[in-house]
Amino acid sequence: METTAVREARGAEAQRLPAPPPSPAEPPAAPRARPRLIFRTQLAHGSPTGKIEGFTNVRELYAKIAEAFGIAPTEILFCTLNSHKVDMQKLLGGQIGLEDFIFAHVRGETKEVEVTKTEDALGLTITDNGAGYAFIKRIKEGSIINRVEAVCVGDSIEAINDHSIVGCRHYEVAKMLRELPKSQPFTLRLVQPKRAFDMIGQRSRSSKCPTEAKVSSGRETLRLRSGGTATVEEVPSEFEEEASRRVDDLLESYMGIRDPELASTMVETSKKTVSVQEFARHLDSVLGEFAFPDEFVVEVWAAIGEAREACG
């Protein structure tokens, strides 16, 4: 049997033994490498396939496409996704699916037309490319412009009565056209997209405005923002798509423009608010340059609410 003295001696010896070395610390987890986002592109009227990457907004996208084909960025009027045709359902908006193929439509012939405004509405829906060009997205059947055969969907509006509008946003151009006096002729200087042989003669006018085609492939899209950097996001939910479609319809009926990115931004803003008054204040802070009228904001709030109910 151990005596108390023996136990104390062993305890003292144990205290003199060196402590075991500490186990090596776990190395910090390496940051997840962001995948390179490389997109394929062609000129819509015909070209070899190029590859582009490293853009964060529409202007940078146009610059990358221009660099790939040795042209000036200002030659690009707009882009479509997965179709070389002037198809407004395939128009590049605020999102690009990670597997989408980008077709760039470049400047073709310039033409001037004279129009007499015999009614309040010309029958045009305007959008813009996010880089300084406004163009015609829709022509209403039976309208004033519908009777002017030289005017086509996809034509960029370069000047009104010799006043250049390059650099103006779509809502500014739509306002200028609305404010033109009735019964007086005016001139439009238009630039049509350069067309391949199989696209010559295409006018693409429809009395209906179909739902915007999805521009996503797979589960993620590249979201382009006019202010800020591009982000990879999940494909919009059913509610977000339906709400954005309804808001885009309201933009057309109130302002004569279509802009899926603007509609999507308004839907995102609504998710941060709980009342129409708060929604209006947030819109003023992020989209104040549009000066949306109160009745329009109320309609948008109601449309988003209806989309939420419809999608459960």
d(CA 73, CA 86): 19
Torsion angle (degrees, nearest 10) of CA 5, 11, 14, 15: -120
CA dist., res. 289 & res. 204, Å (int): 32
How far apart CA 305 and CA 210 sit, in angstroms, is 21
Nearest residue to 134 via CA among 171, 103, 97, 105: 171
pTM of the model: 0.74
Q: How far is CA 245 from CA 160, 249, 289, 300, in A?
A: 30, 6, 22, 11
Write down the pLDDT at residue 24.
57
In the 8-state DSSP scheme, what is residue 265? H
Give the per-residue pLDDT at 284: 93
**Residue-wise over 40-60: b if at least 16 C-beta within 10 A, else e?**
ebbbbbebeebebeebebbbb
Of residues 48, 46, 44, 51, the one with CA closest to residue 76: 44
Cα distance between residue 115 and residue 173, in whole Å: 16
Q: How far apart are CA 186 and CA 162, in angstroms?
A: 9
pLDDT of residue 173: 95
Question: pLDDT in tens for each of the 312 residues of the chain?
Answer: 555 554 555 554 545 555 555 555 566 655 544 557 899 999 999 999 999 999 888 899 999 999 999 999 999 999 999 999 999 999 998 788 888 999 999 999 999 999 999 988 999 999 999 889 999 999 999 999 999 999 999 999 999 999 999 999 999 999 999 999 999 999 999 999 998 754 544 445 443 333 333 444 445 777 676 656 667 777 788 999 999 999 999 999 888 988 888 999 999 999 999 999 999 999 999 898 888 999 999 999 999 999 999 987
What is the pLDDT, as a whole number, of residue 217? 43
Residue-level pLDDT at 221: 72
Which residues fall within 8 angstroms of residue 138, CB to CB, at 6 or more apart?
88, 124, 125, 153, 205, 206, 209, 252, 258
Q: Which two tokens stand for residue 155?
A: 């034509």
The one-letter amino acid at 291 = A
pLDDT of residue 207: 39
Confidence (pLDDT) at 20: 55
Q: Which phi and psi angles does 141 have, rounded to 5°?
A: -60, 135
| Three-class SS state of 217 | strand
Instruction: Determine the pLDDT at residue 37.
Output: 83
State the DSSP string of 107-145: EEEEEEEEEE--SS---EEEEE-SSS-EEEEEE-TTSTG
Residue 59 DSSP symbol: H
